[in-house]
Amino acid sequence: MRSTTFRIAALAAATALTLTACGGDDGGEADAGGDGGSSEESAAEGGTDGETVTIGIKFDQPGLGLNEGGDPTGMDVDVAKAVAEQLGYTEDQIEWKEAISAQREDLLESDQVDMIFATYSITDERKERVQFAGPYFVAGQDLLVPTDSDIEGPDSMGDAILCSVTGSTSAARVNEEYGVALQEYGSYSECMEAMASGQIGALTTDDTILAGFAAQDEYAGQFRVVGNTFSEENYGVGLPQDSDRCEEINEILNGLWEDGTMDQIIEDNLGAADYTPNADLNPPEAGGHCA
Partner 1 sequence: MLELIEQFNVLGAFWLNIRLAAVSFVLAMVVGTVVAILRLAPVSVLNWFGATYVTLLRNTPLTLIIVFANLGLWLQLGIEFVPRENNPNFILENNFWLAVLGLTVYHAAFICEAIRSGVNTIPVGQSEAARSIGLGFGQSLREVILPQAFRGGITPIGNVLIALIKNTTVAVAIGNREIAYQMRNMMEFRPDAGILIFLIVAIGFVILTLPVGLGTSWLSAKLAVKR
Which residues, at least 6 apart from 19, have a Cβ–Cβ distance to it below 8 Å? none
Q: Tell me the C-alpha distance between 226 and 200, whole Å.
A: 15
Shortest distance (Å) from residue 165 CB to partner 1 = 9
Figure out which of the listed residues 3, 4, 5, 197 binds partner 1, where binding follows CB under 8 A.
197
Closest CA to 105 of 206, 237, 240, 235: 240
Cis peptide before 62 (omega within 30 of 0): no
CA 136 to chain centre: 13
Sign of CA dihedral 186, 225, 122, 250: positive
Kindly state whether residue 183 participates in binding partner 1, applying the rule CB under 8 A.
yes
Kindly state whether residue 166 participates in binding partner 1, applying the rule CB under 8 A.
yes
Kindly state whether residue 5 participates in binding partner 1, applying the rule CB under 8 A.
no
Kindly state whether residue 50 participates in binding partner 1, applying the rule CB under 8 A.
no
User: Quick check: 199 and 95 in contact, CB under 8 A?
Assistant: no
Shortest distance (Å) from residue 250 CB to partner 1 = 22
Among positions 93-132, residues that touch partner 1 (CB under 8 A) are 101-102, 105, 125-126, 128-129
Q: Which is nearer to partner 1, 50 or 179 (CB)?
A: 179
Tell me the H-state helices in 145-281.
Answer: 169-177, 188-196, 207-214, 246-258, 261-270
Pairing of strands 162-165, 223-225: unpaired
Kindly state whether residue 160 participates in binding partner 1, applying the rule CB under 8 A.
no
Q: Which is nearer to partner 1, 53 or 151 (CB)?
A: 151
Kindly state whether residue 222 participates in binding partner 1, applying the rule CB under 8 A.
no
Closest CA to 39 of 85, 82, 88: 88
Kindly state whether residue 263 participates in binding partner 1, applying the rule CB under 8 A.
no
Kindly state whether residue 169 participates in binding partner 1, applying the rule CB under 8 A.
yes
Shortest distance (Å) from residue 53 CB to partner 1 = 23
Q: Tell me the C-alpha distance between 211 and 234, whole Å.
A: 17
Q: Which is nearer to partner 1, 158 or 167 (CB)?
A: 167
Shortest distance (Å) from residue 138 CB to partner 1 = 20
Q: Which is nearer to partner 1, 161 or 272 (CB)?
A: 161
Chain residues that interact with partner 1, rule: CB under 8 A = 101-102, 105, 125-126, 128-129, 161, 166-169, 172, 179, 181-186, 190, 193-194, 197, 199-200
